[in-house]
Amino acid sequence: MSVDQDTVRRIARLARIALDEERVGPMMHELNGILAWAEQLAEVDVTDVPPMTSVVEQQLKMREDGVTEGGNADALMANAPEAEDHFFVVPKVVE
């Protein structure tokens, strides 16, 4: 399987990474290089093999569904590139 230029544009859009038009071709070649190399995984018979879901066998830990922390608005906002009164500022999203 390999990707074409339209697919590169589509996944860049899905990933929300702007890609200059002149970078689409080179990126397609880079991705195809990696995908062609990963193609060897298709050689292996994986019938009845479960996908790994946890590296270390252990029961998923449970805890009380309660508030454990809070009241940190100043700390939370400290790294915001643009903020106002404990709100993050973004471009207008509603017409």
Helix 5-14 crosses helix 21-38 at what angle (to 10 degrees)?
A: 100
Which of 6, 31, 66, 67 lies at the binding interface for another protein (CB under 8 A)?
31
Is the separation of the CB atoms in 36 and 56 below 8 Å? no
Decide: is 33 part of the binding site for another protein (CB under 8 A).
yes
Cβ-in-10-Å burial (0-12, 13-18, 19+) of 11 comes to middle
Decide: is 4 part of the binding site for another protein (CB under 8 A).
no
Decide: is 24 part of the binding site for another protein (CB under 8 A).
no
Q: Which is nearer to another protein, 65 or 82 (CB)?
A: 82
Distance CA 5, CA 19 (A): 11
What's the min distance (Å) between Cβ of 65 and another protein? 14
Residue 39 DSSP code:
G
Binding-site ranges for another protein (CB under 8 A): 1, 3, 7-8, 11-19, 27, 30-31, 33-35, 37-38, 40-42, 44, 46, 49-56, 58, 60-61, 63, 72, 75-76, 78-82, 88, 90-93
